[in-house]
Structure 1
Amino acid sequence: MRKWIPLVAVCLGTFMLLLDVTIVIVALPRMAAALHTPLSGLQWVIDAYALVLASLLLTAGSLADRAGRRRVFVAGLGIFALGSLGCGLAPTVWLLVAARALQGIGGATMFATTLSLIGATYHGRDRGTALSVWSAVAGAAAAIGPLAGGVITETVGWRWIFLVNLPVCAIAVALVLTSMTESRLAHRGRLDIGGMVALVVAASATTYAIIAGGEDGGLSVRTLASLAVAAAGLGALVWWENRASDPMLDLRLFRRPAFVGVLVAGVALQAGAFTVLPYTSVWLQSVLGLSALQAGLIQFPLSVMSFVVPLAFGRWLHRFPHRDVIAVALLAVAAGAFGQAVISGGSAAWVILPGSLLVGVGVGMVGPVLAGAALAAAPPERAGVAGAAMNTFRQLGLALGVAVLGSVTAAGMAGALTGRVSDPLAVAQRLSSGTAETSVGGQLLREAFAAGLDAAYLVAGAVAAVGALAVFLLMRAKVSRAYASDSDIPEVPRSAAAPRS
């Protein structure tokens, strides 16, 4: 059994970094109350982690190739632990956001090396077994995130959803150092620091512009300035990557319609399935009066379906073309999102369950085939980069989606309050962050929150539906395949598989 100790270490790191994407969702209202933060603060608690994770993933893979995967993985565990400590002790929301960004650095460093470590440690049937276990752990992390967050928040407080990572990181470091040998590429290439910086600037400025636009109610000076910075960052990224000797992202891949289709699918999946959840959690707790644990239980079925469907039907799904499975899955996500846009001022929590279950089915369908589609859409020698790019765009979809739907939610609330309160935008901001007392405003505020949340679900459904259409038009009908043999995984993939959330 000693041969599986390295797998345990890798799975511990994977479990933590993916769990921390969703575990904070049900704790957001408690964080808002404790740290006195508006909606923008709640958005950045999620987005800081997702943006940094997305922006550094490609570069972290190159760093691991040069410096050694075991060394970089251990460093990632240490950085993640330090960030978790900072989150648990943060006295203000912006220190919490900074600590979340530090967590994102550690998470990217770990995530970029997980499959490389598995590929270097296991071969033949053992590699297939290791990949299956790793995929199940990734799915389990997403599945129990909201519920675990609810349990911890209700029992020992929201800060412990971060502090609990410390002993897990310590155990993982000990297992890695005692059971795993170092591995690295013989030809290491150069780190693409310029590309990384340009991507960070473009993604962060875009997110800030969206959040600022929601706060200001339109195209304010800071919104326009942020959009200008984002455009400059994107232009710099394209210019740099076309000239870099070892680009972190080979832009020639974007000439392949199937590859673009995979990236669109990743963005649409995250934006359509997960980005309304933070605001749903606020509604469940601040409007309906549920506890954090009860809110986690309401959101738990989505995660359960996303975990159960690939286990039950994963092999069956591989018999169909990538394009068809992904398009149908995104349509299921769209239908589920539309099915949740039925909230009224008097709705109970159960009204979102049917749509939530359907979203979970769609997410579960995508899981087994999206990574394979990314590999099939790129030349074999670029498979690792293609997989890492897909993961990057999934996290960007989450970060940008949270920002967009936060603004949509606030705008929907403000629209419902216009003519009925003196400052509808300010009231909407307080309401969407859970800091407005709905018992004082009564039915009016409950109806306003329902209107904002319905608008967000409609936009999420539209994004998933457009994604399904794009996938159908861009991707060819290739039959999916599971990859379990040595030849199916590049010797050193930077991250060829995708998290489910």
Structure 2
Amino acid sequence: MSSPDSNKAWLLAAVCLAALGMPLSFTGPAVVLPAIRDTLGGTPVQLNWVTNAFMLSFGATLMAAGALADAYGRKRVFLLGLAVVALSSALLTLAPGIVAFELARAVQGLGSAAAFAAGTAALAQVFDGPARLRAFSLIGTSFGVGLSCGSILSGWLADTVGWHAVMLSPGAVSLVALCLAAPRMRESRNPQAMGLDVPGTLSFTAALSLLTLGVLQAPDSGWGSPWVLAALAGALAMGAAFIAIERRVAHPMLDLSLFRFPRFVGVQLLAAAPAYGFVVLLVLLPIRFIGLEGRSALEAGGFMFALSGPILVVPTLAAWLAHRFSAGVISAVGLLVCAAGLVWLARCAPGTPLHGLVGPLLLIGAGIGLPWGLMDGLAVSVVPRERAGMASGIFNTVRVAGEGIALALVGAGLTALVALQLKASSSPSSVAVSQAAQRVATGDMAQALALLPGMDRAALLHAYGAAFGTLLCVLAGVTVLTAVVVFVFLRGDEPARGHAEALGQNA
């Protein structure tokens, strides 16, 4: 019979594996998107949903999954989530078309949300004090490993086996986690849990869905389209309804009173910062490297490792620095370093070799790595202990939902910037330019050239490079602004040092 300490270790290993599999679900499809398009077809809007369907369902249901785990059993929800991820991964390889593929991606997001929420809630019950912080830092490290190695693993699998193997990899990891947890994990629930906040969940999911739908449809239909305006107005109305509901219910999914803590607000801003300074590049750069520049999936994975690799080591530096500086200082410096890398990358034209890209990619990854090493611990240390569970759920929801919204907005922005460049350098109709810009933004060089008969590949790449550079400079500006605001909210000392002690013991 295994000891309680042994069961804790196996549970931690299972949750860390689940955390490792989540970025594989996110980064893998970006690397093989051209192959998915060639096999299943799809319009540019539909191809954007390949990533956003997962992010939307994950972010919209994370807090609800936590409530279900508390009410009906954390082990039950954790194992069910892992099983759903494994099943949906298999369904992705059998999808007859792009719409079925995207529905399976949404189901995969639901499973990932259930596994993550229930797994972290279970860990919070068996670990306490510094041990809890060390456990959660290991989860962050596992997520970082998935981000760092996911692109190069996906590139290798795509080149040696095919894109179907990339889709199966998160399911394989989830199955291993399920086998580890099923015989050793104890069931636990919160006797005071009130179950699912159905009105809050529905209004929150509707708000995110309508916002994402409107932003993704805008490049195709135009921002003034009645459908786009209706979707954005609906998102605003559902968001207002969600806030009104959470203020009135006795046991809200989102306790709005937490936003009275300035540090809590600062942590939410910090959670959103990697979305537009780092995460969007995990999707945009593989499309650029493979779909537009014609590099192999494995070569693109090597480029992406230069971007995400620092996540493996820089958080340890952040833990060391946290003994000496406040979380606000460390996070602000990291974001400024990231912004500098974005500006540097903006100067790298399409076709730049690895030695010309490795510097800015490493700088972006290293800059994000500094706040990355503190965020998860800060999420639970900036509020009273009895509210730590909800604070962690809100933090992760903001992080994931922010990534989905950032992807939609940045994708729409890139399409608009490419269209402006094409209008300045060619004379086709505005409809052809708009359609070509959408094709370029999703990596479909052949279709874009077919829509622009008077333009050659070099000119199209130049227009894309100019638009991409402008986008990166805008993202750099937003990152600098975030650095300033985060510094103001998180300039105290205590949370950073407390988290540093836990990370230091874990290192």
- TM-score normalised to structure 2 length: 0.90
Pair 134,269 (structure 1): closer, same or farther in 2 beyond 3 Å:
closer
**CA 1:39/1:470 → structure 2, altered by over 3 Å: closer, same or farther?**
farther
Cα distance per residue 1:189-215 (max 9 Å; x no partner): 232121111111111111111111122
8 Å CA contact retained: 1:345, 1:448: no
Q: Mapping of 1:68-79 within 5 angstroms?
A: 68-79=73-84
For 2:196, the equivalent position in structure 1 comes to 191
Give the share of equivalent positions with the same residue, in percent: 32
Structure 1 residues 128 and 242: CA distance shift in structure 2, 3 A:
closer
Partner of residue 492, structure 2? 477
Alpha carbons 1:190, 1:246 under 8 Å: kept = no
CA spacing shift, 1:255–1:129, aligned 2, 3 Å: closer
Specify the alignment match of 1:253 in structure 2. 258
Once the two structures are superposed, the pairs formed by residues 319-334 of structure 1 within 5 Å of their partners are: 319-334=324-339
In structure 1, the partner of 2:58 is 53
Q: 1:258 to 1:170 in 2, by over 3 A?
A: closer
1:165-200 CA-to-partner distances (Å, cap 9, x unmatched) read: 444333332322211211112221232121111111
| TM-superposition CA deviations, 1:101-125 (whole Å, max 9, x none) | 1011111111112222223345678
More RCO (CA 8 Å, sep 6+): 1
The partner residue of 2:49 within 21, 44, 53 is: 44
The counterpart of 1:408, out of the listed 405, 408, 413, is 413
Corresponding residue of 1:358: 363
| In structure 1, C-alpha distance between the alignment counterparts of 2:327 and 2:318, rounded to whole Å | 14
Match for 2:119 among 114, 120, 127? 114
Kindly tell me: are residues 349 and 368 of structure 1, through their superposed partners in 2, closer, same or farther at Cα, counting changes over 3 Å? closer
Q: Is the 8 A contact 2:75 2:186 kept in 1?
A: yes
Report SS of the residue matched to 2:329: helix
- Per the alignment, residue 436 of structure 1 pairs with 445
Q: Tell me, in whole angstroms, the C-alpha distance in 1 between the residues paired with 2:172 and 2:490.
A: 44
Please, which moves more after superposition, 265-274 or 36-45? 36-45
Matches within 5 A, 1:192-211: 192-211=197-216
Query: Hey, what does 2:102 align to over in structure 1?
Result: 97
> 2:188 is paired with a residue of what secondary structure?
coil
Tell me which amino acid in the other structure corresponds to 2:291: S
CA-CA distance at 1:453 after TM superposition: 1.5
Find the aligned partners of 1:324 and 1:126 in 2 and give their Cα distance.
Answer: 26
Structure 1 residue identity aligned to 2:340: A
Q: Is the deviation greater in 324-333 or in 438-447?
A: 438-447
Equivalent-residue separation in structure 1 for 2:274 and 2:323 (angstroms)? 19
From 8, 28, 35, the equivalent of 1:30 is 35
Alignment partners' CA distance in 1, 2:27 and 2:204: 24
Give the superposition deviation at 1:249. 0.7
Q: Give the superposition deviation at 1:485.
A: 9.8
Summarize the Cα distance change of 1:470–1:44 in structure 2 as closer, same or farther, 3 Å threshold: same
Which of 142, 146, 159 lines up with 2:147 in the alignment? Answer: 142
Alpha-carbon distance in structure 2 between the residues aligned to 1:302 and 1:276: 9
**Would the alpha carbon gap of residues 124 and 402 (structure 1) be closer, same or farther in structure 2, given more than 3 Å must change?**
closer
Between the aligned partners of 2:389 and 2:261, the Cα distance in structure 1 is 16
- Structure 1 residues 236, 259: closer, same or farther in 2, change over 3 A? same
1:340 is matched with 345
1:63-99 Cα offsets, whole Å, 9 max, x none, are 1111111111011111112221222222222211111
> How many Å apart are 1:127 and its aligned residue?
5.3
Q: Shift of residue 354 of structure 1?
A: 1.7
Q: Distance in 2 between matches of 1:345 and 1:242?
A: 50
**Count of matched residue positions in the alignment of Structure 1 and Structure 2:** 486
Q: For residue 289 of structure 1, report the CA deviation from its aligned partner.
A: 1.4
Alpha-carbon shift at residue 347 of structure 1 (Å): 3.8
Once residues 172 and 347 of structure 2 are traced to their aligned partners in structure 1, the CA distance between those partners, rounded to angstroms, is 43
Separation in structure 2 between the aligned mates of residue 334 and residue 300 of structure 1, nearest angstrom: 19
In structure 2, give the amino acid aligned to 1:468.
A
- The aligned residue for residue 477 of structure 2 is 462
1:295 to 297, 300, 317: 300
Paired with 1:77 and 1:392, the residues of 2 have a C-alpha distance of 19
| SS of alignment partner, residue 53 of structure 2 | helix
The answer to whether the aligner puts 1:19 opposite 2:28 as a matched pair is: no
Moved more, 198-207 or 277-286: 277-286
Tell me, yes or no, if the aligned pair for 1:58 and 1:248 is still in contact at 8 Å: yes
In structure 2, give the amino acid aligned to 1:62: A
Counterpart-to-counterpart distance in 2, 1:186 and 1:319:
42
Deviation, 1:446, is: 0.9
Question: 1:481 is aligned with what amino acid?
Answer: R
Residue among 440, 447, 450 paired with 2:465: 450
Could you tell me which residue of structure 1 aligns to residue 505 of structure 2?
Answer: none
Q: CA deviation at 1:139?
A: 1.7
C-alpha separation between the residues in 2 aligned to 1:268 and 1:280? Answer: 18
Partner residue, 1:218: 223
Matched, 1:159 2:200: no
Structure 2 distance, partners of 1:337, 1:6, is: 38
User: Which whole-Å CA distance do the structure 2 matches of 1:361 and 1:255 have between them?
Assistant: 32
Q: Which residue of 2 is the match for residue 494 of structure 1?
A: none
Secondary structure of 1:274's aligned partner = helix
Structure 2 counterpart of 1:496: none
Secondary structure of the residue that 1:418 maps to in structure 2? helix
Q: What is the deviation of 1:37?
A: 2.4
Which stretch of the first structure deviates more once superposed, 29-38 or 74-83?
29-38
The answer to whether the 8 A contact 2:157-2:166 is kept is yes
Letter in 2 for 1:238: I
